[in-house]
Structure 1
Amino acid sequence: MVIRGYTIKEAVYTLLEEEGEEEEEEEAEPAETPEELLERVQQLRAMVRELRRELRVKQRQIEQLTMYKQELEEKLQTSSEKIENLEKLVEQLRRGEEREIREKKLLKAKTDRIKLLEKELAKEKKEKSELYKKLEMLRRMRLLEVTKQAVPVKVISALTKDRVRAALRDYIKPGDVVYLEDPSGGGPTTVQLLVQAGISAVISNQGMSHTAMQTLEKHDIPILAPGKVGLRHVDGFAIADPQKLKENIEKWMEKHKEKMLAEKEAWLEEMINNYRETRKKERPHKT
Structure 2
Amino acid sequence: MADSHATRNYTIVGIDPGTTIGVAIIDLNGTPVEVFSSKNYSIADTITRIISRGKPLIVASDVTPTPSMVKKIGGLFSSFVHELYGSLSTDEKIALTKGEGYEYKNVHERDALAACISAFKRYKKKFSQVQKKTPPGVTVEEVKALVVKGMSISAAINRLISAQEEKRKRTEEKGQDEKRGGEESESKDLLRLRGMMKEKEERIELLEELTTVLKADVQEKEGEIRSLKRKLDAMRTESMKELKKAEEIRKRDTEIERLKEEVRAREKGNAELVEIIEGLKGRKEVKGGIRIKMIPSFSQDAIVKIDRRYGLEKGDIVFLEDGSGGGASTVDLLARKGVVAVIYGKELSHFAAARFSELGIPAFSTDEIPVLLKEAEEDFAFVDQDVLTERMEEWERERRRKRVILLR
TM-score computed with the length of structure 1 as normaliser:
0.39
Higher percent of residues as helix: 1
Higher percent of residues as strand: 2
